[in-house]
Amino acid sequence: MKYVGAIVGLALAVIAVAMLRDATLSTHQEIDPDSRIELVLHVRTNSAEAGQTLDEMAEAQLLTCRLEVSSDPVSPLEDLGDGRFRVVLAPSMDETDQRQFRGCLEDWVIDHVTASVERLEPIG
Partner 1 sequence: MKAIAWLAGLATLLVGALYMVVSLNRWEWNRALFFGLIVLIAEVGLATALILRRIGQLAPRSDIDPAVLAALRDTRPPRPDRFAWLEPNQLNVFITFLVGGGVILSGVAWLVDRIAANTTTPAGEEQLARQLGPISYPRGGLLVDDVTVLAQAVPGCDDAQLRRLLRRSGQGGRA
Question: Footprint of partner 1 on this chain (CB under 8 A)?
Answer: 16, 20, 23-24, 99-100, 102-104, 106-109
Which of 16, 74 has the CB closer to partner 1? 16
Q: For residues 78 and 21, what is the distance between their CA atoms, to the nearest angstrom?
A: 36
Which of 4, 46 has the CB closer to partner 1? 46
- Closest approach, Cβ 36 to partner 1, in A, equals 22
b/e sequence 97-118, b meaning 16+ C-beta within 10 Å? bbebbbebbbeeebeebbbebe
Q: Is 37 helix (H, G, I), strand (E, B) or coil?
A: strand
Which of 26, 47 has the CB closer to partner 1? 26
